[in-house]
Amino acid sequence: MFEPWAAVDLSCDAYLAQQGNPRIEWKFEKGETVTLLYRDSQFTEPYKGCVQFTPSSIHFSSVTRKDTGKYICEVLGESGQLSKSEVNLIVQVAPSKPVASVPASVTIGNKAELTCKESDGSPPPTFLWYRNNIQMPVNPNTSEAFKNSSYELNPKTGQLTFDPVTGFDSGDYYCEAQNNIGTPQKSDTYRLEASELNVGAIVATVVVLLILLGLIAFGIWFAYSRGYFNKRKDLPKGVMENSNRHRPSWCECRLDLPRGALALPSYFPQDCCACALNPGPCLSIFSYPPAHLCKSGCFTRTLGLSSRSS
């Protein structure tokens, strides 16, 4: 293990076992990725200018965390025999502040997953979880404080799984990352509430309903403001509308008037109604007080023309 920025030499033991002038390749393996580092007497990017080669080793003038990994030296001898050796390089870096993910509310009986992530530590850190400032053991049955909980804790991945969640699992949670280099780092603290009802889902549903009601109300207001709703009802058959704004706007059949009589409200008391021949049904425009029955001898008042009925 090496500190950051240290100079490092990685030897190729496979070369020492060969005779003559063998062909040498260096490869870098990190996780599932293998990168060619050196071939045909030259380094590949980004190692040019940073690493020096000798037949028996490679030299890093300064290493960083990204150089941590496995280095593979392959040597092909003049006889065609292939030899290989490996060197693990670990650049020690203390972990940074981890990021915890904790659900705010969980329904009792359901499953809940809490995660803790950290990407800077080298070697990779292990993780601890705390509830209400008390460290949670890997096996809850070994602790009096956690024996009523049912969970699985993976120190390597930092995942904490409750299955199922119980009422005892409510509390304040945070995680800690440590790799024995520097000071262990703690995440922020988050509150988890275990309840019979999913409070978060209820609040979200109420908010969505309020938004929908607001949209509906706005739509109705917009339609009225644009005149999409006709405020005037269709007149029934045999009913006509009076366009005079000083008179009632609706009229209907008066069955108590003789057929062919058109009753119109009069502006003058003596002209209680006007009689006119009309082949259509008897119509009356309501006024207040109601129009009187047509009688013989009434003044005729039709469309502003007056004449004495004969």
- Where in the chain are all domains bearing CATH 2.60.40.10? 8-89, 99-195
Answer whether the bond into residue 95 is a cis peptide, omega within 30°. no
pLDDT, residue 35, reads: 94
Task: Indicate the range of 4-8, 137-141, 265-269 predicted with least confidence.
Answer: 265-269
Q: Specify the range with the lowest mean pLDDT, choosing from 11-20, 53-62, 184-193, 212-221.
A: 11-20
**Over residues 210-216, mean pLDDT:** 92
DSSP element (H, E) containing 101: strand 99-101
Q: Find the mean pLDDT for residues 262-271.
A: 41
Residue 295 vs residue 112, higher pLDDT: 112
CA atoms within 13 A on the CB side of 178: 9
Distance between CA atoms of residues 259 and 277, nearest Å: 9
pLDDT at residue 308 greater than cutoff 80: no
**Surface-to-core class of residue 27, CB atoms within 10 Å of its CB (0-12 exposed, 13-18 middle, 19+ buried):** middle
Closest C-alpha to 272, from 258, 256, 290, 249: 290
- Mean pLDDT, residues 149-158 taken together: 96
Lowest mean per-residue pLDDT among 12-16, 45-49, 239-243: 239-243
Determine the topology of domain 8-89 in CATH: Immunoglobulin-like (2.60.40)
- As a whole number of angstroms, the distance between CA 53 and CA 26 comes to 10
Peptide bond into 289 cis (omega under 30): yes
Q: What is the pLDDT of residues 63-98, one digit of tens each?
A: 999 999 999 999 998 888 899 999 999 999 999 999
Residue scoring higher pLDDT (227 or 176): 176
On the question of pLDDT at 140 being above 70, the answer is yes
Cα 289 from Cα 302, distance rounded (Å): 20
Mean pLDDT of 294-301: 38
- Whether the per-residue pLDDT at 60 is higher than 90: the answer is yes
The reported pLDDT for the residue numbered 303 is: 35
How far is the C-alpha of 238 from the C-alpha of 75, rounded, in Å? Answer: 109
- The per-residue pLDDT for 43 is 92
Which of 117, 118, 114 minimizes the C-alpha distance to 102?
114
Average pLDDT over residues 238-250: 41
Cα dist. 104→28, 111, 173, 189, 208 in Å? Answer: 43, 13, 11, 11, 19
CB-side exposure of 126: number of CA atoms within 13 Å?
Answer: 7
> Average pLDDT, stretch 31-36?
92
* pLDDT cut 70: percent of the chain above it: 72
Q: Is residue 26 scored above 90 in pLDDT?
A: yes
pLDDT at 244 over 70: no
Q: What is the mean pLDDT of the chain?
A: 79
For the ranges 216-225, 234-243, 251-260, 301-310, the lowest mean pLDDT is seen at 301-310
Bond into 258 cis (ω within 30):
no
* Residue 162 clears pLDDT 70, i.e. is over it: yes
Q: What is the pLDDT of residue 199?
A: 65
- Residue 278: its pLDDT value, please? 40
CA-closest candidate to residue 293, choices 273, 276, 308: 273
* Whether residue 273 has pLDDT greater than 80: no
> Six-digit token pair at 126?
């292990």
Give 240 or 148, the one with higher predicted confidence: 148
Give yes or no for residue 240 having a pLDDT over 60. no
Fold of the domain spanning 99-195: Immunoglobulin-like (2.60.40)
